[in-house]
Amino acid sequence: MGETDHSRGTHLNMAAVASRVGAARLLQAAFGCTTFSLVAHRGGFSAAYGTFCMSVWCFCFAVTVFIVTCEFTRLHSCLSISWGNFTAAFAMLATLMSITAAVIYPLYVEFGCHSNGCEARDFRISASVFAGLLAKPGQVTSYMATVSGLLKIVQAFVACIIFGALVNGSQYDRYVATQWCVAVYSFCFVVTVVVVALSVTGKTAMLKCPFERFVVVYTFVAVLMYLSAAVIWPVFCFDRKYGSPHRPYQCSRGKCPWDSQVVIAVFTCVNLVLYIVDLAYSQRIRFVSHP
């Protein structure tokens, strides 16, 4: 009996569900499951915005269950990825996606307090709150658990918002200058995703130079590129010579290129600030790692 108990203790990790992070994951999974179940059954969703929200809740629930299962059974040790980087990256991504869905759903999807609508709304708010608890880093030694690593997730998420506005009739192809801005967004997004992928898969040694140095150099280049986009995009969209400083009266809500251009301008500045902060922390990590 004693040997059996010892074997069970070896193969099952009770801390995966008994710790504060584990309990938060279980709560997030429970509230997430309740959220998309109520919305699908009684809350209702429609159009692209509603489908996006449902996809977010289902995705976060599925990956959370996968993480809890792998940690409880210790199966994550069999995966050829950096588990600490993966959980930290997902925690930040899930937080951003859950908050976005919690804001988008009541704005763009029609719902009310009839037919249990209020109950579904309450569970959506609860799920968003518990999703925020998962933003706690996993392992201090993993890159994705650092401020710089978490900022990479936010930068990629903001870039996705920019891409969404670009394809929503932003008229970015009118000038070569605005096409340059699109190239900036695309290049920085791709490299950021590569950095995250290398960290999560533990393949940073594939680089010909130290990973910390690569991150610092790339982040510096991204700051310069986003700085140019933050200047060029507003000039060619809102200057009277190229665009319009005011919203046209004939533009309808949700289908106005000027609105998309404003969104892109705002989030370009947001990402510029994020990359500047990232550069400061990346340089700090480099100096600490190499005194």
CB 155 within 8 A of CB 191: no
Q: What is the pLDDT of residues 268-282, one digit of tens each?
A: 999 999 999 998 887
Residue with the larger pLDDT of the pair 77 and 196: 196
Proportion of the chain above pLDDT 70, given as a percent: 73
- The full 3-state SS of 127-194, as one line of letters, equals HHHHHHHCCCCCCCCCHHHCHHHHHHHHHHHHHHHHHHHHCCCCCHHHCHHHHHHHHHHHHHHHHHHH
Q: What is the pTM of this model?
A: 0.68
Instruction: Report the alpha-carbon angle 72-78-80, nearest 5.
Output: 125
Look at residue 89 in the predicted model and tell me its pLDDT. Answer: 77
Band (38; pLDDT cuts 50, 70, 90): low
CB 27 within 8 A of CB 127: no
User: What's the mean pLDDT in 225-234?
Assistant: 94
Band (46; pLDDT cuts 50, 70, 90): low
pLDDT of 152 over the 50 cut: yes
Q: What share of the chain is helix, strand, coil (3-state, %, to 5)?
A: 80, 0, 20
In sequence order, the 6+-apart residues with CB closer than 8 A to the CB of 252 are: none
